[in-house]
Chains A and B, each alone.
Chain A
Amino acid sequence: MVILANDVFKPIMYGTAELLGLAPSYVDDTSVFFPHPTSNLDRSQIFRLVDARIDEIANVLLGKRQLKAGRMKDEGISGIKAALAPFCQSLHEDGAELTIGELHGGTLETRLEVREACEDGTCVLPREQLTAIVASMLRDFPQVVNVRMADSREA
């Protein structure tokens, strides 16, 4: 099975796979994503989207995810930072700064600084939950095996 889907449906697909008892990697192993929306494109635009992904589709069909590994390597830390940017912004609005550090041996180092405006620190989720959220958001980045977060509230 190869599933072709718009990228906005990723969270639903991960959740559905889990409910169906499929392996956590099922969506990553079987799906190829297109930028949302596709319903407003004409036939030639759809064809171009497919043409750009046909090798990836063939690789997924044959169980070889070569393209993905290459893409992840190219994206490096900048891709990780881009993926986390909206989350960092929401933390900023809640009174904390999440800094994305280095990636070493599969462990992503992050640092959370909770500002004075949030003195007791309760306006921001506990470190354990934030770490789990960050790890979940990076499930498309197989090079990130573990997320470590230093929290100023624990200093």
Chain B
Amino acid sequence: MIEVYEPCGVLREHRVRAAARPRALDGLKFGILDNNKTNAEALLDRVSSLLREKGAELAVKARKEVWSLPAPGEVIDSLAHCEAVIFAHGG
């Protein structure tokens, strides 16, 4: 007798909902997360400068030390109280 295994697994759907969007830029407390790649800082500096001109407030400026790895928990925690986060990665 040959034992045959059923190769089909159980599909578990894992859906995540995006956070609600802020209503206005005026007074918005936002954070920026730099992935530490070349020019990410310059790009985010410019974005935050222009958003501040539109009334938003830069609350947190964070950086990942290793661009290819997820941001450490303490970095994510530091951004948790922001109403929005702008993340740049590129190369």
Task: Please determine whether B15 and A38 come into contact, CB atoms closer than 8 angstroms.
Answer: no
- Measured CB to CB, the nearest residue on chain B to A30 is B18
Chain B residues near A39 (CB, 8 Å)? 37-39, 90-91
- Measured CB to CB, the nearest residue on chain B to A41 is B39
Q: Mark A34-53, 1 if CB is under 8 A from B, else 0.
A: 10111101010011011100
What's the interface size class on A, roughly? 20 to 34
A70 close to chain B: CB less than 8 A: no
What's the interface size class on B, roughly? 20 to 34
Alpha-carbon separation in the docked complex, A71 to B41 (Å): 28
- Measured CB to CB, the nearest residue on chain A to B85 is A1
User: Contacts A39-B39, A47-B42, A62-B24; is A23 near B90 (CB within 8 Å)?
Assistant: no
Chain B residues near A6 (CB, 8 Å)? 89-91
Alpha-carbon separation in the docked complex, A63 to B14 (Å): 23
Task: Please determine whether A61 and B84 come into contact, CB atoms closer than 8 angstroms.
Answer: yes
A58 close to chain B: CB less than 8 A: yes
Q: Of A29, A30, A47, which is in contact with the most chain B CB atoms at under 10 Å from its CB?
A: A47
Alpha-carbon separation in the docked complex, A29 to B21 (Å): 11
Closest beta carbon of chain B to A33's beta carbon, Å: 9
Chain B residues near A47 (CB, 8 Å)? 42, 46
Alpha-carbon separation in the docked complex, A1 to B84 (Å): 6
What are 6 A-B pairs with beta-carbon distances under 8 A? A3-B89, A4-B47, A38-B43, A46-B39, A46-B46, A61-B28
Instruction: Sort A-B residue pairs by CB-CB distance and give the 6 closest, nearest first.
Output: A63-B21, A21-B14, A39-B38, A6-B90, A50-B46, A4-B88
Q: Which residues of B contact A (CB under 8 A)?
A: 13-19, 21-25, 28, 30, 37-39, 42-44, 46-47, 50-51, 54, 84-91
Q: Which residues of A contact B (CB under 8 A)?
A: 1-6, 9, 20-23, 26, 29-30, 34, 36-39, 41, 43, 46-47, 49-51, 54, 57-58, 61-63
